[in-house]
């Protein structure tokens, strides 16, 4: 895998998509973010007022703003210059300032310029699966965190949602009652090359997803000195599904599309 080339292609694509992404998420994230990602990340993070938090792959800053609103001192970075420009444009006078940087999460040395031991916690949501190598990120994270620091992530669930699942809808007539059933079909889990996916409905360009099995994902963190001490698997509920018809995650209330976890330095 040509990591450098794929990463540069990713940066160009995210710059192209930045306006779309910024509109999709607004100030505090879309439904996927607000219903699945943010609640699990906040639960695992157990944020204390005044803590220094770094958000990696911050997009338009939706989570960074939320954390700042909860009293954290937030630094956030993304490799897309356009997304950082749009994140800064959403600065509000009624929220504490977020310090934004344009940085590449595959560049360990660049990340370390933020300051060793400076952060109480790191967050990284829906970004690990978009990066061709995550070893430098975890190595840098281990050094950026102070003693007892925690790293809270949310990513596409490796078992159900990072391997191009096929959405299935079936109609059943049982005892005179017609009902719809929804499912996902998984054809492969172990060895999958990077594949392009269309992202959120309407995204202007597909980008690469890097599927990692659960063991590959966690092994990268363990190798950098982390241990896992919290795990959540959020799914939509019947209330979300009632609002959305058809083949989408809102109708799959028994299958979690997101995996959120908390890592701590061992
Ligand atoms: C799916 S978005 C998630 C954004 C945000 N964290 C959220 O939860 O809404 C993935 C983000 O990762 C960023 N990204 C991808 N590769 C990166 C890299 N090598 N370094 C830094 N950011 C990267 C993209 O620019 C994009 O903002």
Instruction: From 21, 53, 59, 129, give the residue whose CB has the most ligand 1 atoms within 8 Å, as the site to mutate.
Output: 59
Boundaries of every domain in the chain: 3-159+189-265
CA 72 to each of CA 55, 69, 76, 87, 122: distance values in angstroms, whole numbers, following the listed order? 11, 7, 12, 17, 11
Residues 6+ away with beta carbon under 8 Å from 228? 218, 221, 222, 261, 262, 263
DSSP codes joined into one string, 200-246: STT-SS-EEE----HHHHHHHHHHTTEEEEEEE-----HHHHHH--S
> Tokens 């799959």, residue?
252
Confidence of residue 242 (pLDDT cuts 50, 70, 90): low
CATH entry, 3-159+189-265, from 3.40.1550.10, 3.40.1280.10, 3.40.190.10, 3.40.50.150: 3.40.50.150
Residues 6+ away with beta carbon under 8 Å from 62? 25, 26, 27, 28, 29, 33
Which helix or strand (DSSP H or E) is residue 252 part of?
none
Instruction: Render pLDDT for 183-233 as a digit per residue (tens, 0 to 9).
Output: 999 999 999 999 888 888 788 888 899 999 999 999 999 999 999 999 999
The answer on pLDDT for 134 being more than 80 is yes
Instruction: Render pLDDT for 153-183 as a digit per residue (tens, 0 to 9).
Output: 999 999 999 878 899 999 999 999 998 888 9
Instruction: Render pLDDT for 31-85 as a digit per residue (tens, 0 to 9).
Output: 999 999 999 999 999 999 999 999 999 999 999 999 999 999 999 999 999 999 9
What gap in Å lies between CA 82 and CA 159, rounded to an integer?
32
Instruction: Render pLDDT for 90-131 as a digit per residue (tens, 0 to 9).
Output: 987 777 889 999 999 999 999 999 999 999 999 999 999 999
Q: What is the DSSP letter of 101?
A: E
Residue located nearest, by CA, to atom 26 of ligand 1 = 59
Phi, psi of 72 (to 5 degrees): -85, 155
Work out the angle between the directed axes of helices 62-69 and 38-45 (0-180°, nearest 10): 50
Cα of 22 from ligand 1 centre, angstroms: 12
pTM reported for the whole predicted model: 0.95
What's residue 199's pLDDT?
80
Other CB atoms within 10 Å distance of the CB of residue 166 = 10
DSSP codes joined into one string, 133-187: --HHHHHHHHHHEEEEEEEEEEEE-TTTSSS-PEEEEEEEEETTEEEEEEEEE--
> Tokens 């999709």, residue?
24
What gap in Å lies between CA 199 and CA 161, rounded to an integer?
12
Ligand 1, pocket residues at CB < 6 Å = 7, 10, 14, 25, 33, 37, 57-59, 62-63, 78-80, 83, 104-106, 125-127, 130-131
> Tokens 């990696």, residue?
56
What gap in Å lies between CA 93 and CA 114, rounded to an integer?
25
């Amino acid at each position: 895998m040509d990591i450098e080339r794929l990463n540069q292609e990713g940066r160009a694509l995210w710059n192209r998509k930045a306006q779309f992404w910024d509109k999709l998420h607004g100030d505090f994230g879309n439904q996927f973010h607000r219903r699945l990602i943010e609640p699990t990340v906040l639960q695992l993070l157990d944020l204390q007022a005044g803590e220094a938090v770094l958000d990696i792959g911050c997009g338009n800053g939706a989570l960074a703003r939320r954390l700042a609103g909860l009293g954290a001192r937030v630094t956030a970075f993304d490799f897309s210059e356009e997304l950082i420009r749009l994140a800064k444009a959403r600065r509000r006078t009624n929220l504490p300032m977020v310090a934004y940087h344009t940085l590449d999460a595959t560049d360990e040395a660049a990340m370390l310029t933020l300051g060793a031991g400076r952060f109480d916690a790191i967050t990284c949501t829906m970004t690990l699966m978009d990066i061709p190598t995550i070893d430098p990120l975890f190595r840098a994270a281990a050094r950026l965190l102070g003693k007892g620091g925690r790293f809270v992530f949310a990513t596409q669930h490796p078992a159900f949602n990072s391997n191009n699942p096929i959405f299935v809808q079936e109609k059943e007539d049982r005892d005179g009652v017609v009902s719809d059933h929804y499912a996902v079909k998984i054809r492969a889990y172990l060895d999958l090359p990077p594949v392009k996916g269309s992202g959120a409905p309407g995204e202007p360009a597909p980008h690469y997803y890097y599927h990692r099995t659960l063991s590959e994902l966690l092994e990268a963190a363990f190798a950098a000195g982390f241990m896992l001490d919290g795990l959540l698997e959020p799914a939509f509920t019947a209330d979300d599904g009632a609002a959305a018809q058809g083949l989408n995650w809102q109708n799959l209330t028994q299958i979690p599309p997101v995996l959120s976890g908390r890592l701590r330095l061992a």
